[in-house]
Chain A
Amino acid sequence: MGDLLIMISVFVLTFVIGYAVISRVPPLLHTPLMSMTNAISAVIILGGLLLFSLETTGVEKLLGFVALVAAAFNLFGGFMITDRMLKLFKKGNTPFELRR
């Protein structure tokens, strides 16, 4: 029971601190922010790892495999597209023609 109390407090605390920190992200970066949090939600991949830390049946293997593929897609794709997006943001007044 003590464990579950810890779990709930971890949830509440990170939600509250996360809320405070993320509220200060400027709207300019909202799309990359969502894209990055999307990649972070692929943390469910840990569930897949935990599944395969014990013996599994055939069906479990198959479903677990699908879950891992979906999460890995999210993870790699999410962080990569966020980086690509953020690279586009440029500062300074270089003339358009010189940039190409």
Chain B
Amino acid sequence: MGTALILATDFLIILLLLMGFLQFRNPTGARRGNFTAAFALLCTFGLVIGRHGSVEPGLVFAALLLGGALGWAVAGRIHMIQIPAMVAFQHGAGGIAACLIAFLELTRGTGGTATTLSEVSGLLGLTIGTATFSGSMIAGGKLAGLMKQQPVVVRFHSLLVLGCSFAVLLVAGIAGKGGPQTPVISLLILIGLSILLGILFAIRIGGADMPVLISFLNATAGLAAAFCGIALQNRLLIACGATVAASGSILTHVMCVAMNRGLTKVFMGSVSKQRTEGREVPTVEKSLIPSETADGGNGFEYALSAARIAKNVVIIPGYGMALAQAQFQVVRLARRLEELGKSVKFAIHPVAGRMPGHMNVLLAEADVDYEKLVEMEEINPEFPATDLALVVGACDVVNPAAIAREGTPISGMPILMAHEAKVVVVCNMDEKPGYSGVNNPVYEMAKTITLFGDAKETLGRLLEAL
């Protein structure tokens, strides 16, 4: 094949991949986009096999079969609430693959690594890939509930991270000095340091900051692949890695804006932050404890009549709803209200859930028409005309302290203006403040009816009574 032809085919495949992203405008198009991207990857695969051949076709095939079958089995079984954990573990898989590929390429010293720039890229790919791997394992462990969700801060945490990064640079510098073949021992030290760096980095991020971490790891996984691509001198690898890095950067930025927190604040600032009473994750046992609904029986009657007379209702779901597995009950209630001739919408805060857009998927799973899922900017002007705002398992995202008060951890975070609705009904586990630890004045308002206890049960009673 001539060079021009090779360039042209590479270009076409990259175009195809970007087409896939272009189709991500609505769910139907996105399905096609997903297929387009998968097809683009299949093409890169065929192209590389076609151009370079394979010495070990049996081994490659066996690996693909094994990995593919594993991926297939896990992806088919996972629940939508587990998606963030699954995605985090997959970032980790991408990271370890990048680490191994970079390691092998550097030790072999064939092909690209003869030049300085590609050796530097290989070292970067190795470091970023390894740190992505260990960071993702921590993130996945936290999201899957295998580890404590709260941020863990060891003594001199920032100093340790800095020292570790410096050591990584130093060892990488020494490793890069060797001839075409990078010494194995320095690479192994580098891998060890990178693993430590990833762990130190991820372990101090928890709870509501998880969406930022997972988006960031998405970007670094792509970046690691792109650097490996430079080391291996493969344009397709670079292009695919770069688009992933771009996408991850966008999502990281969106999440930071949605919480009004700078990236450094998320990654470094948790230490100084006052998180006196971190929200405890409601467990099943807890929800069995008789809740305040006994004395709130009155409140229940009020809530019922408010629901009866309301003409338009906005439901504000939070991660607490997902933890209580109450989304199906919420949707049943929404349908009942619609049958009674009321207009029902869902207000989705960008950071509701544990990864960007997670709440949308959870509600889509519960069969909500996706056109009823309204974004924050769009729904906020409608709140003053809303008869009833139903808050289910959300706290910080409707906390007016974020816009009214200075100096709280959530100050400046854009919120859903539920407090502007005529009546607010709060179905939360308890009256404890949300993850940020800031008391929510909405609970104290005269027009607010609080129904504490298991949201699933409360909503069920509401549904029955309607």
Contact = CB atoms under 8 A, between A and B. Distances in A.
A47 B226 CA distance: 11
Contact of A52 (B25, B60, B335): B60
A84 to B, nearest CB: 7
Contacts of B335: 95-96
B27 interface: yes
A73 B67 contact: yes
Contacts of A44: 94, 97-98, 101, 224-225, 228, 237, 241
A55 B18 CA distance: 34
Given A63-B104, A66-B100, A76-B72, A3 B233 contact: yes
B230 interface: yes
B214 A92 contact: no
12 contacts: A17-B18, A19-B246, A38-B244, A39-B41, A40-B222, A63-B104, A72-B65, A73-B70, A76-B71, A90-B369, A93-B338, A93-B369
B127 interface: no
Given A27-B356, A34-B248, A40-B244, 11 more contacts: A4-B118, A7-B235, A11-B226, A11-B238, A14-B18, A28-B27, A31-B358, A35-B87, A41-B225, A46-B236, A86-B30
Interface stretch (B46-54, B275-283, B316-324, B411-419): B46-54
A74 B80 CA distance: 17
B247 A29 contact: no
A38 B31 contact: no
Contacts of B230: 4, 7-8, 11
B179 to A, nearest CB: 19
Interface string A1-36: 101101110111011111101111111111111111
Contacts of B370: 28, 89-91
Contacts of A88: 80, 361, 364-365
Contacts of A27: 254, 348, 350, 356-357, 360, 375
Interface in B18-52: 18, 20-22, 24-27, 30-31, 33-35, 37-38, 41, 44-45, 48-49, 52
B222 A37 contact: yes
A7 to B, nearest CB: 5
B426 to A, nearest CB: 24
Interface of B: 14, 17-18, 20-22, 24-27, 30-31, 33-35, 37-38, 41, 44-45, 48-49, 52-56, 59-60, 62-72, 74-76, 78, 80, 83, 86-87, 90-91, 93-94, 96-98, 100-105, 108, 110-111, 115, 117-118, 214-215, 218, 221-222, 224-226, 228-230, 232-251, 254, 331-332, 335, 338-339, 348, 350, 355-358, 360-361, 364-365, 367, 369-371, 373, 375
Contacts of A70: 67, 93-94, 96-97, 100
Interface residues of A, number: 87
A58 B4 CA distance: 37
B55 A55 contact: yes
Between A15, A16, A55, A79, the greatest number of chain B beta carbons within 10 A of the residue's beta carbon is seen for A15
Between A43, A48, A95, the greatest number of chain B beta carbons within 10 A of the residue's beta carbon is seen for A43
A41 B222 contact: yes
A4 B371 contact: no
Contact of A29 (B350, B357, B371): B357
